[in-house]
Structure 1
């Protein structure tokens, strides 16, 4: 019966002039739409995949837009699979040529930008979207994904800076359109990670007509997301409420994933195998910044799927497991170490903290050695994190669990270092700069509970070495803007893997990525040279040697202090079926079901 329905739906999808599909799905029209209620702990910033930079906005862009590739829902470690592409890319032996074929029949969500026509997705839409990352007017923070990789693409950006206009119509050797559904990409150098890069939201396709109709003065369409994904934007009250609705024009998909090594996969397969995707027709998302408000919403049944941050962990967990009273209610826990790193950076362009003179390096080293990371994990995150000494976290290719940083906790040595390099204490007990001027440092943090706790932990650190600290409490969106412009003096910055390769973390300190992802604006020619060399290598021992050298350079110069990777604890109500937290995907809404009778 199901196969007949799928055949009918697929047949209708090929009849281009029919508009949205009207055939009956397994969920009969008479049945109410299934609704999943979800919470974001911070406000979104916008839904343009080329400019959205935060995890919360990317929950939404991942649902609305489709890149060429994605990751298998159950496979661990994360395994690349086709998404909008018909198959995985064909890669030349030297890793410099990728041939990608697109599924036929994918259409954009109907929108006035298309003037009543049914708009099919083609490879030209991907080429346009990737070029858009390089438009100086848009100033996308994601240009680094393809920077210095595609033949001719960087030159387009240089020409635009000279002329003042980006030429989207100019053909470049790096993008060879063989037909509307086939693209051959020619790279400047070997790159075996391109498939993973093209699975990241900023590489998703956006229609040119949408940008022309809704783009602001920069060409950004943060308020009008029109994609080809499983969901479309239904309602949006900024910083408060987001509603996604099923995109019924999406090509039909059937849940068909194999169980991995996790014994719980068997349950998930039994609950979901053979079902149409998505089962949930409406996602209602609330923005609740306060920890207690989020917890009360889940406890009262007002939230179906809940991100349990560290500060709330004791309410639901005991010794890393779900509390018995919650388990008895049928509440589900999906737990993993996030492929992330929270690191502490100093703005290397700052006149007080930045630079590579001996006294500046000594100041940063002393601060790093005075900070007790284990205590921060215990106090701020209730133990729901693992200390990291290497920039590449667990679950990511290139991680080294045996690596030991040169910057170890030693407040006594930290004070001696400051004394030696002229940061003397005055009669009031506070240190001054070597020239005798006051030494007062700024630490930026988010203005909710965890940010306040982080600031207090760092105040304790600075007090222990006689340095005055001021705390700038800011909303998350303002932090992101200031950080990109190198305006923050210091901050604890989390970075969650865009794709599961160490390259995605080592690029955080690459000089040319300043004003994109290099939040500390770190500029070290030797580090940049090593990073550029690592880009030409496949994952393996030879590349790992370069990564180790880069990590040591970062420590010697005290360009950043590695902190921790947090546990991701996701709670699901008994009514949620088939749920398992994925290490790379921001959300899993299209892969799960909900049964309110439970």
Structure 2
């Protein structure tokens, strides 16, 4: 299992030269992958869509990134020359950018080469906090940058954000220097800086394309968008002006790293000239595409695990194809939230909490694990998964599967059964849940699991079907009564998960609009502390408060079994680098013969 620690200043491990303008990428080297759900455009200021993040991180660049092989995960410079200078008791950060990094060509630049500067990062941070953008990631910076709150307040009052207003805590003293001053120490700030929404973006591009910027990304990264068919196909091609790097990562304790190093060490990157991404929502269809060699990298869906795996190894039929397997507990949680503003399941009165608690106790997590996930999951106990700072392996949730007690709760608080066996609200009005879902088979199976559990306590439910991107948009607006999903780690601290329940983050990650003064006070205290037992204890208290209010139904931690074809070299699934295509190579001869 991955563990994460924040490292001190280290040397950049990518040897690059801004003067190099000819990409080594071979257009005949192609990686083919599939997404199980659609993206929502590639403007990470406006979305937290997991699959949007895959694409965005290859097109845009952040000041910092993560070492590709290091475990525990380790922050390293990306476009910054080195790790920042940190002074003023951890409140002031000075980043110096590498010179000669350019955006890919675009008409918005009117035929001129456009260099990446410190101003582009200052602009991106401002965009994140512009109320008009309704950024779901705004909470990462809200209230943190000295002097920015007044600019945000003025924008809320006037309806227009002043991007040129001076801000004491966000300075660019020269073209390549970014100085950030925080209102208080933030022990996760460098993790935040490495998050995709913090990438540098060109103001003239955003001005040129406006609301369409998410479909017209222009960055400085290793790849560019070549073709985009929303909810169907994305094709990336190597950026011909990308500065390049030398693959020179050091092995972790994982013995499989040694083969990666033999395959990759010393190569000038990127080698892959084209990445083709298909949206294949149905798990069985995606798995068949992998078996048919139409896609090169995928994870084994739960429904196929018993036919593909023998314990923690591939079965002989797959092993004979030299398919490579990586198996680990994904640093993510799956859960279903309740909309606390909803007239049926929302609210903080005892009878509303009793309803939510009964619903939560009707969910049979053991069946989820054994039947739906085919034992490729374990029960989630906390809001955060193992492997993030603050996780307590001894913690156990106070809410479990118990339909007998759930029925007693509903009886006590006036949810009466009718002649048909189904319950009404205490005022006699109909009680029908709406649990939104996506179309693929696994979500149908989860809907059936919900039905079996809810039938035992006499509650009807509907399961409206939509696609992931549209459900996410509605959830961000707190428009869904209930919706099940997952949250994957963006930065390796429990705050990344606990902020999903922080009241001020409603409409920007807190999709259930949960607002608890007790929880919020604990959250604010926790993030003011350095990592350690005291903060871990506060995270545990926050979990208990969430359980007391029954804001979520915690479900499972998924075991991922990533597989890659033997012609794909250098692949290792990183918990925080989602795509990693710029670190891969393809054996063209082997791929051509196999396909």
Q: 2:546 aligns with which of 528, 532, 554?
A: 554
Q: What SS does the corresponding residue of 2:334 show, helix, strand or coil?
A: strand
2 CA distance for matches of 1:368 and 1:461?
9
Q: CA deviation at 1:422?
A: 1.4
Q: CA deviation at 1:22?
A: 4.5
2 CA distance for matches of 1:128 and 1:512?
23
1:190–1:535 contact (8 Å) kept in structure 2: no
Q: What SS does the corresponding residue of 2:179 show, helix, strand or coil?
A: strand
2 CA distance for matches of 1:347 and 1:92?
42
User: Are 1:397 and 2:392 an aligned pair?
Assistant: no
1 CA distance for matches of 2:279 and 2:285?
10
Q: CA deviation at 1:32?
A: 5.5
Q: Pick closer, same or farther for the CA change 1:246–1:412 going to 2, 3 Å.
A: same
Alignment correspondent of 1:16? none
Q: 2:92 aligns with which of 97, 107, 131?
A: 97
User: Are 1:288 and 2:283 an aligned pair?
Assistant: no
Alignment correspondent of 1:433? 425
2:66–2:74 contact (8 Å) kept in structure 1: yes
Q: CA deviation at 1:94?
A: 2.4
Q: Pick closer, same or farther for the CA change 1:332–1:515 going to 2, 3 Å.
A: same
1:34–1:282 contact (8 Å) kept in structure 2: yes
Q: 1:184 aligns with which of 179, 190, 201?
A: 179
Q: What SS does the corresponding residue of 1:400 show, helix, strand or coil?
A: coil
Q: What SS does the corresponding residue of 2:465 show, helix, strand or coil?
A: strand
Q: CA deviation at 1:160?
A: 1.0
Q: CA RMSD in A?
A: 1.6
Alignment correspondent of 1:174? 169
Once the two structures are overlaid, the 10-residue window that deviates more, 508-517 or 315-324, is 315-324
2 CA distance for matches of 1:70 and 1:242?
24
User: Are 1:317 and 2:309 an aligned pair?
Assistant: yes
Q: CA deviation at 1:144?
A: 0.8
2:32–2:275 contact (8 Å) kept in structure 1: yes
Q: 1:413 aligns with which of 382, 395, 405?
A: 405
2:476–2:509 contact (8 Å) kept in structure 1: yes
Alignment correspondent of 2:434? 442
1 CA distance for matches of 2:22 and 2:369?
52
Unaligned runs of 5+ in 2: 1-13, 591-595
Alignment correspondent of 1:337? 329
Alignment correspondent of 2:252? 260
Q: CA deviation at 1:240?
A: 1.5
Q: 2:341 aligns with which of 349, 355, 360?
A: 349
Q: CA deviation at 1:304?
A: 1.1
Alignment correspondent of 1:121? 116
1:61–1:201 contact (8 Å) kept in structure 2: yes
Q: What SS does the corresponding residue of 2:126 show, helix, strand or coil?
A: helix
Unaligned runs of 5+ in 1: 1-5, 14-20
User: Are 1:423 and 2:395 an aligned pair?
Assistant: no
Q: CA deviation at 1:48?
A: 1.1
1:39–1:307 contact (8 Å) kept in structure 2: no
Alignment correspondent of 2:102? 107
User: Are 1:469 and 2:461 an aligned pair?
Assistant: yes
2:44–2:197 contact (8 Å) kept in structure 1: yes
Q: What SS does the corresponding residue of 1:56 show, helix, strand or coil?
A: helix
Counterparts of 1:204-283 in structure 2 under 5 Å? 204-216=199-211, 221-283=213-275
2 CA distance for matches of 1:564 and 1:146?
30
Normalising by structure 2, report the TM-score. 0.94
Q: Pick closer, same or farther for the CA change 1:478–1:22 going to 2, 3 Å.
A: closer
2 CA distance for matches of 1:309 and 1:70?
29
User: Are 1:533 and 2:522 an aligned pair?
Assistant: no
Q: Pick closer, same or farther for the CA change 1:11–1:350 going to 2, 3 Å.
A: closer
Alignment correspondent of 2:484? 492
Q: 1:595 aligns with which of 567, 587, 590?
A: 587
Deviations 1:168-226 (A, max 9, x none): 0111011122221112211111101111101111010110010111113xxx5111100
2 CA distance for matches of 1:123 and 1:436?
61
Q: CA deviation at 1:93?
A: 6.1
2:124–2:199 contact (8 Å) kept in structure 1: yes
Q: CA deviation at 1:433?
A: 1.4
Q: What SS does the corresponding residue of 1:281 show, helix, strand or coil?
A: strand
2 CA distance for matches of 1:521 and 1:323?
45
2:437–2:484 contact (8 Å) kept in structure 1: yes
Alignment correspondent of 1:18? none
Q: CA deviation at 1:277?
A: 1.1
1 CA distance for matches of 2:238 and 2:481?
43
Q: CA deviation at 1:239?
A: 1.6
2:18–2:101 contact (8 Å) kept in structure 1: no
1 CA distance for matches of 2:550 and 2:288?
42
Q: What SS does the corresponding residue of 1:215 show, helix, strand or coil?
A: helix
Q: CA deviation at 1:107?
A: 0.7
Q: 1:164 aligns with which of 159, 162, 176?
A: 159
Alignment correspondent of 1:67? 62
2 CA distance for matches of 1:70 and 1:575?
26
Q: 2:494 aligns with which of 502, 520, 526?
A: 502
Normalising by structure 1, report the TM-score. 0.94
Alignment correspondent of 1:17? none
Q: What SS does the corresponding residue of 1:243 show, helix, strand or coil?
A: strand
